[in-house]
Structure 1
Amino acid sequence: MTVIVAKWTIDEYHRMIDAGILSDRKVELLKGEIVEMSPEGEPYAYCSHESAEYLADLLGKGATIRQAKPITLPNDSEPEPDIAIVQRLGRKYREHHPYPENIFWLIEYANSSLEKDLERKSKIYAEAGILEYWVVNLKKLHLVVFREILDGEYATKLTLTAGTIQPPAFPDISVVVERIINS
C-alpha cells in the first residue's frame, strides 16, 4: 500500500491559519508538510531565551533577534526557528515574515527534536540559501554549526563546546559558545 501525503503551499497554509483551523496546534510548514512542533521543556525555554538576550546585546542595532517566529522560505516551508537573527526591516515584517535574503543566521535548540533539526531542517535551510545555521544539542551541550552551501546542502559542519565563533555576517563580532549552549 502506498501512502500519499497531501502537500500544502505557503498560501494554503496561511489560509488555514487565517481560518483558525490550526489555532489549537503548535505546527510549522516543512517542504509542504504540516509538522507538529515539540513542546518546550525548561532547559529549552531557558537556554533559547538567555541566548536571544545575549545576542541582542552583542549585535545591538546591527540585527533584530526574533524568537520562535515564522520565516518564509521558497521551498514551501515556513518553520519557526528558536532564534532568527535578521535584518532590521521594522514595519516591513507586518507585510511578510523574513525571507532568506533577510536572514543572517538561524539557531535551533534541540532535545527531542535533535534528528529533525540536524537532518531535515538543515537540508531545508541550505536549499533555501540560509548561509549559516546553528543547532544546540541540549543533551550533550554542544553547538553544531552548518556553513558553506554546496549543491543545496551545507558543506561544512563544526561541533563546538567552548571558545568563540565569528558569524560570517558579523565578522567583527565574537560569540562566546558557552553563552549559546548555556553550559
Structure 2
Amino acid sequence: MSVTTARWTLDDYHRMINVGLLDNRHVELLNGEIIEMPPEGPEHAQQSTDTADYLRELLSDQAIVRDSKPITLPESRSEPEPDLAIVQPLRALYRTRHPYPENIFWLIEYANTSLSKDLDVKRKAYAAAEIQEYWVVDLRHRQIKVFREPVEGNYRLELTLTTGEIRPLAFPSIVILVQRLLEG
C-alpha cells in the first residue's frame, strides 16, 4: 500500500488563516505542504533588518522591500515568507493580494538553521516560479549564494560571494556591498 500526502491549495490555506486555525503558529505553505518555520535567532533577525534598511536607502521609491511577508506562487501551491522580498512598488495591489512572481525583483533569505531548506526546497520553488534572482545569506559560513537564470525548476547560475559588491539584475546601476549584507 502506498501513502499519498494530501496537498493543500492556496484557497485551503487562506481559509485556515481566516478561521484562525493557524493562529499562534509560524508557518508557510510550500508546494502544498504547511511547514513550521523555526524562530529567528537574534543575529538572523537583526541582519535581515539591517539589510532591509540598507536596501530601502539604495532603492528609494524604485521598489518596496518587504520583511518576512508572504509572496504567492500560484503554480506550486506556495505562499512562503522570505526574509526580504524586493518587489514592484504596487502598494494598492498588495492590499488585495500578496506579490506574485511577476511582481518580484528578487528575494533574500538569511539562513542559519534553515540553510538546507533555503538552498533546496525554497530555491527550487522560486526557480520554478521563474523568480529571476534569489540570494541566500549563509550566516554560518559568512557567504552569500546568488542564484540567477531560472530554467526548468532550478537556477542555471550560482555565485558564492564573501567580499566585493553585487548588482541586482533588476537594478544594474545599484551597487550593493557584500559586507553590508554579511555584517550589517
Q: TM-score, normalised by structure 1?
A: 0.97
Q: Structure 2: any 5+ residue segments left out of the alignment?
A: none
Q: Secondary structure at the match of 2:69?
A: coil
- CA apart distance, 1:120: 0.7
Partner of residue 65, structure 1: 65
Alpha-carbon distance in structure 2 between the residues aligned to 1:147 and 1:172: 17
Q: 1:16-60, CA deviations, whole angstroms, 9 ceiling, x for partnerless residues? A: 000000012100000000000011001100100000000000000
Contact 2:69 2:81 in 1 (8 A): yes
- CA apart distance, 1:6: 1.7
The answer to which of 8-17 and 144-153 deviates more is 144-153
Alpha-carbon distance in structure 2 between the residues aligned to 1:92 and 1:169: 20
- CA apart distance, 1:97: 0.1
Partner of residue 77, structure 2: 76
Partner of residue 111, structure 2: 110
Contact 2:130 2:151 in 1 (8 A): no
Letter in 1 for 2:168: P
Letter in 1 for 2:144: L
Q: 1:65-114, CA deviations, whole angstroms, 9 ceiling, x for partnerless residues? A: 00000000021000000000000001111110000000000000011100
Alpha-carbon distance in structure 2 between the residues aligned to 1:53 and 1:92: 23
Question: Quick check: 1:51 aligned with 2:51?
Answer: yes
Partner of residue 136, structure 1: 137
Alpha-carbon distance in structure 2 between the residues aligned to 1:164 and 1:54: 14
Partner of residue 179, structure 1: 180
Q: Secondary structure at the match of 1:84?
A: strand
Partner of residue 16, structure 2: 16
Instruction: Work out the percentage of aligned pairs sharing the same amino acid.
Output: 57
Alpha-carbon distance in structure 1 between the residues aligned to 2:104 and 2:5: 30
Contact 2:28 2:35 in 1 (8 A): yes
- CA apart distance, 1:2: 3.9
Question: Quick check: 1:97 aligned with 2:98?
Answer: yes
Runs of 4+ in 1 over 2 A off after TM superposition: 1-4
Partner of residue 166, structure 1: 167
Letter in 2 for 1:47: Q
Q: TM-score, normalised by structure 2?
A: 0.97
Alpha-carbon distance in structure 1 between the residues aligned to 2:91 and 2:27: 25
Q: Secondary structure at the match of 2:71?
A: coil
Letter in 2 for 1:166: R
Q: Structure 1: any 5+ residue segments left out of the alignment?
A: none
Q: Secondary structure at the match of 1:181?
A: helix
Partner of residue 34, structure 2: 34
